[in-house]
Amino acid sequence: MRGFTFAQIVLSLAVAPAIFFLASSPCSAQASGSTAQTQSNPLTTGKPSQATGTVLSPANIDAIIDRVIAREKEEMEAFDRYSPIVETYIQEVRTDKVLGLVPKSDFYMLGQADFRGRLKVHSLIDGGRKRTLTWSFDPAGFLQMIYIDRGGFDRVHYRFKYVGREFLGEVRCHIFDVEPVPKTRGARFIGRIWVEDQGLTVVHFSGVYAPTVHFSLKTFEDEYYLHFNSWRMNVRPGLWLPSYVYSQELMPPVLFDKIVYKAETHLWGYRLAAATRESELSRLLIESPTAVKEEVPQHDRSPLEAIREWRHQAETNVLDLLEREGLLAPHGDVDKVLDTIVKNLEITNNLDEQIDLHCRVLLTTNFELFSVGNTIVLSRGLIDVVPDEAAMAAMLAHGMADALLPKPYQDQYAFSDVMRLTATEVLRHLSFHENKTEAAENSEKAMELLKKSPYADKLQSAGLFLSQLHSQDRQLKQLISPWLGNEVYFASQLMQSAPALVASNVNQVAALPLGSRLKIDPWTAGVSLIKPRAVSRLSARDKMFFEISPMVPYLTRYAEPTPSPSSSPSPQGSEAPPTPHL
């Protein structure tokens, strides 16, 4: 069977229905633990430098290598205890004369990792492998990229060459080039590893599994191993867990079916736990020297008040479920920034006394915008690419308009039995879609809110953002397709008020690349704003609208959180709301 050519396999669809581009090799060789990678380190924070002071002797280096091998085995055993959310987003790219590489098509996969036995990803959405007539992407292949070699990372199978030391963020690392011993069987890693210098744990590795093409007798398909760059985060003392993988293949190994792509894989929610919430009782008395009584309405509910309480229960049930299953970030500072923008819209429209709206962040990359009760939910990917505060206000204004419109069909979520869903059922059973009529009405209401807001004379950026997204909607079908809520609505009034898109204009930034604003804590699934330094764009190719780009985390060692010192309460009304920074 090894004599089959690729062309023969493609033509014999009965034998080989698809070619598998397994971004890290979800083949049988991988299941037994073999892997490999070409020596490529596109993501480093500086040039490797030899250690200053004491030079490491061969004996020291050998001792380090032995400990690295032992620690990698311990790490892989630790992985088996968890089932994180794993999300892979892929962009097939093409060359544009002005903008360089731009998205041509895209693919999206979201699931829950299963490290027991053969690697598996239990899909949270419809569909698993993403395919065309001649090739496909497998989620387990991208998940494989969190391993150097799942079954044979030792001196029997690998040779190690010490390169030097380098800081990755605040973590000093030893650097080794790694390659398989000649004539070693199976797919093996070729590349470079970075090892933190205290526990001697691998925290970063970059390369490919070789040989890069493997014919599987099990599936009768060619399987490909692709270049990747993998990162781990220190989430607990002595525990570094996979958090991010970047993969690309811009020089494809085959000429007859070119696939040029970039991909990113995020892992989060290793500590998936139910959010703690105080019991909501109708009446609570606490015995103390001074009797304390919980403040609750001391009267019968009117029909309107009763239905609002019922809808609040539905809202609470939905948010608790999404957070418990690792799809919604816990409350954090990003919510507060978004809440401030919403408050600006409320106050200028005299709504602050009528409704109290809040924002939450959905952790997915695909663009989502919807409301449940008094909560506006935006996805991480949408927040990443919005260019400025005024454009974000336009998104939130649409969410506000949606929240102001009662949705009786959501009331069913107030029943607890309806919300007893597993992780793989959540995105298939919950829905917060607005119909076309509601979307148009919400768009008109959003414009009313914006015209009275402090963003009224700054909405050109919102129009540019919508115009840019509209110009690429065919190439970004997966990115703009929500699973729970609504697509970004192309408000004609905003788009018409914006200047024309000029691709060559370096200063016209209609949208940002993915990953521009938020980062995920892989342990808690919390999100926080990244703190990059300002970098000037030198070419139109630096604009990278909606594009995947490599991420270089600033590595730190785990430190136990210290409780913030209690402060005396401020006089009522003396504390100003936080200023949004977007």
The answer, yes or no, to whether residue 325 has pLDDT greater than 90, is yes
The total number of structural domains in the chain stands at: 2
How far from each other are the two terminal CA atoms of the chain, in whole angstroms?
Answer: 56
Query: In the structure, what pLDDT confidence band is assigned to residue 353 with cuts at 50, 70 and 90?
Result: confident
Q: What's the confidence (pLDDT) of residue 257? A: 59
Q: Is the distance from CB of 127 to CB of 139 less than 8 angstroms?
A: no
The answer, yes or no, to whether residue 42 has pLDDT greater than 50, is no
The answer, yes or no, to whether residue 34 has pLDDT greater than 60, is no
390 & 336 share domain: yes
At which of 248, 268, 288 does a domain end?
268
Reading phi first (left if > 0) and then psi (alpha if -120 to 50, else beta), residue 199 is in alpha
64 & 145 share domain: yes
Q: What's the confidence (pLDDT) of residue 182? A: 92
Q: What's the confidence (pLDDT) of residue 116? A: 86
The string of pLDDT tens digits covering residues 123-134 is 999 765 556 666
The answer, yes or no, to whether residue 569 has pLDDT greater than 70, is no
Question: What is the span of the domain harbouring residue 191?
Answer: 18-268
Q: What's the confidence (pLDDT) of residue 54? A: 58
Q: What's the confidence (pLDDT) of residue 423? A: 85
Cβ burial of 441 (10 Å; 0-12, 13-18, 19+) is middle
The answer, yes or no, to whether residue 304 has pLDDT greater than 50, is yes
456 & 378 share domain: yes
Q: What's the confidence (pLDDT) of residue 380? A: 97
Q: Is the link from the previous residue into 211 a cis peptide, with omega within 30 of 0?
A: yes
Name beta bridge partners: 192.
177, 206
263 & 323 share domain: no
Residue at 522 is within a domain? yes
| Predicted model pTM | 0.84
Which of 376, 272, 372 is CA-nearest to residue 324?
A: 272
Q: What's the confidence (pLDDT) of residue 22? A: 35
Which of 184, 237, 227 is CA-nearest to residue 206?
A: 227
Residue at 282 is within a domain? no
256 & 318 share domain: no
Structure token digits, residue 175: 């650097």
213 & 264 share domain: yes
Residue at 136 is within a domain? yes
Query: In the structure, what pLDDT confidence band is assigned to residue 293 with cuts at 50, 70 and 90?
Result: low
182 & 313 share domain: no
Query: In the structure, what pLDDT confidence band is assigned to residue 224 with cuts at 50, 70 and 90?
Result: confident
Which of 427, 421, 368 is CA-nearest to residue 398?
A: 368
**Helix/strand/coil for 76:** helix
Q: What's the confidence (pLDDT) of residue 52? A: 46
Helices marked H in 38-170 = 58-79, 139-143
The string of pLDDT tens digits covering residues 389-398 is 999 999 999 9
Residue at 93 is within a domain? yes
Which of 470, 540, 546 is CA-nearest to residue 508?
A: 540
Residue at 566 is within a domain? no
Amino acid identity at 506:
V
Q: What's the confidence (pLDDT) of residue 25? A: 36
Non-local (6+) Cβ contacts of 317 within 8 A are 413, 414, 416, 418, 419
Query: In the structure, what pLDDT confidence band is assigned to residue 580 with cuts at 50, 70 and 90?
Result: low
213 & 357 share domain: no
Q: Is the distance from CB of 166 to CB of 182 less than 8 angstroms?
A: no
Which of 41, 35, 50, 30 is CA-nearest to residue 158?
A: 35
Query: In the structure, what pLDDT confidence band is assigned to residue 399 with cuts at 50, 70 and 90?
Result: very high
State how far the Cα of 283 lies from the Cα of 410, in Å rounded to an integer: 27
Which of 368, 373, 374 is CA-nearest to residue 395?
A: 368
222 & 318 share domain: no
The 10 Å Cβ neighbour count of residue 577 is: 11
130 or 539, higher pLDDT = 539
Q: Average pLDDT, stretch 294-312?
A: 80
Beta strands in 352-418 (DSSP E): 358-362, 369-372, 375-379
**Helix/strand/coil for 448:** helix
Query: In the structure, what pLDDT confidence band is assigned to residue 219 with cuts at 50, 70 and 90?
Result: low
The string of pLDDT tens digits covering residues 440-491 is 899 999 999 999 999 999 999 999 999 999 999 999 999 999 999 888 888 8
Q: What's the confidence (pLDDT) of residue 579? A: 61
State how far the Cα of 335 lies from the Cα of 317, in Å rounded to an integer: 19
349 & 396 share domain: yes
Q: What's the confidence (pLDDT) of residue 113? A: 94
The string of pLDDT tens digits covering residues 148-198 is 999 899 999 999 999 999 999 999 999 999 999 998 888 899 999 999 999
79 or 42, higher pLDDT = 79
Fill in the DSSP letter of residue 255. Answer: S
At which of 244, 268, 292 does a domain end?
268
Q: What's the confidence (pLDDT) of residue 218? A: 60
Strands 518-520 and 369-372: unpaired
The answer, yes or no, to whether residue 574 has pLDDT greater than 50, is no
CA angle 485, 490, 493 (to 5 degrees): 135
CA angle 164, 170, 175 (to 5 degrees): 20
Q: Average pLDDT, stretch 276-286?
A: 38
The answer, yes or no, to whether residue 279 has pLDDT greater than 90, is no
Q: Is the distance from CB of 552 to CB of 245 less than 8 angstroms?
A: no
Q: Is the distance from CB of 346 to CB of 353 less than 8 angstroms?
A: no
The answer, yes or no, to whether residue 2 has pLDDT greater than 90, is no
Residue at 498 is within a domain? yes
Residue at 167 is within a domain? yes
The answer, yes or no, to whether residue 53 has pLDDT greater than 50, is no
The answer, yes or no, to whether residue 37 has pLDDT greater than 60, is no
Residue at 492 is within a domain? yes
State how far the Cα of 548 lies from the Cα of 567, in Å rounded to an integer: 43
196 & 144 share domain: yes
Q: How many residues does the chain have?
A: 582
Q: Is the distance from CB of 222 to CB of 16 less than 8 angstroms?
A: yes
The answer, yes or no, to whether residue 8 has pLDDT greater than 50, is no
Lowest-confidence pick of 21-35, 222-236, 400-414: 21-35
69 & 178 share domain: yes
Please give the share of the chain, as a percent, with pLDDT higher than 90. Answer: 63
Q: Average pLDDT, stretch 4-12?
A: 28
Helices and strands in the chain: count of H runs, count of E runs = 12, 22
